[in-house]
Chain A
Amino acid sequence: DAKTTQPTSMDCAEGRAANLPCNHSTISGNEYVYWYRQIHSQGPQYIIHGLKNNETNEMASLIITEDRKSSTLILPHATLRDTAVYYCIVRVAIGGAQKLVFGQGTRLTINP
């Protein structure tokens, strides 16, 4: 399974854009990149996913490099409620189900 590498922690000022990088240099052509976040003692919350094109939704934008070896999650206007652990995950299909391969994630702290 492809593995991901993320910085252990990051800080961002409230109201600024938070840019969270992720390396997935061994990703294969049919593996999706997913981003989830987890606030302490809660279940992970889905944010966004993509295969090779950039994606945007109401929560964030996902920028995937052309060679697909890395990606960046962008929270355009970070708020204090965005403080969480952010996981960049490669999703591998296993028959009709999926397998999410989690790493340790990036602990993002939004500062007032």
Chain B
Amino acid sequence: DGGITQSPKYLFRKEGQNVTLSCEQNLNHDAMYWYRQDPGQGLRLIYYSQIVNDFQKGDIAEGYSVSREKKESFPLTVTSAQKNPTAFYLCASSLGTPGETQYFGPGTRLLVL
């Protein structure tokens, strides 16, 4: 099946620990995105990548890092510098050309212990 997968569905982090969220797509999309959603709020853009080996900061990049070594994969690391990491994290992808729709994965819920 074609689509976007995120793993794990739930993730627990201890204080001071880095954790990495996985995002994979087999849609042959060039652009990939990470968003954060807090309870009762809309989504906010963390990072995005238009092509392999290139990525840009979004609106709330502090405390996060990403890599884009393969077209299909765009992992997000939540570092210990992110002071309030508890949130719902959503990955999305699009063809990357103007006018193309962005499609979302099922999300990962991160909880700090």
Contacts and interface: CB of A to CB of B under 8 A. Distances in A.
A98 B100 contact: yes
A1 to B, nearest CB: 10
B53 interface: no
Interface stretch (A15-23, A37-45, A71-79): A37-45
B104 interface: yes
> For chain A, what secondary structure do more than half of its interface residues adopt (helix, strand, loop), or is it mixed?
strand
Interface string B74-89: 0000000000000010
Contacts of B90: 43-44
A96 B43 contact: no
Most chain B CB within a 10 A radius of its CB, from A43, A103, A104 = A43
A92 to B, nearest CB: 10
Contact of A102 (B4, B40, B43, B99): B43
Chain A interface residue number, banded: 20 to 34
Contacts of B49: 97
Given A44-B43, A44-B90, A103-B42, A96 B102 contact: no
Contacts of A103: 42
Given A41-B88, A44-B104, A45-B104, A105 B42 contact: yes
Contacts of A93: 98
Interface of B: 4, 6, 30-31, 33, 35, 40-45, 48-51, 56, 58, 88, 90, 92, 94, 96-107, 109
Interface of A: 32, 34, 36, 41-46, 49, 87, 91, 93-100, 102-105
Given A97-B56, A98-B102, A100-B45, 10 more contacts: A32-B99, A43-B4, A43-B6, A44-B43, A93-B98, A94-B56, A97-B49, A103-B42, A104-B40, A105-B42
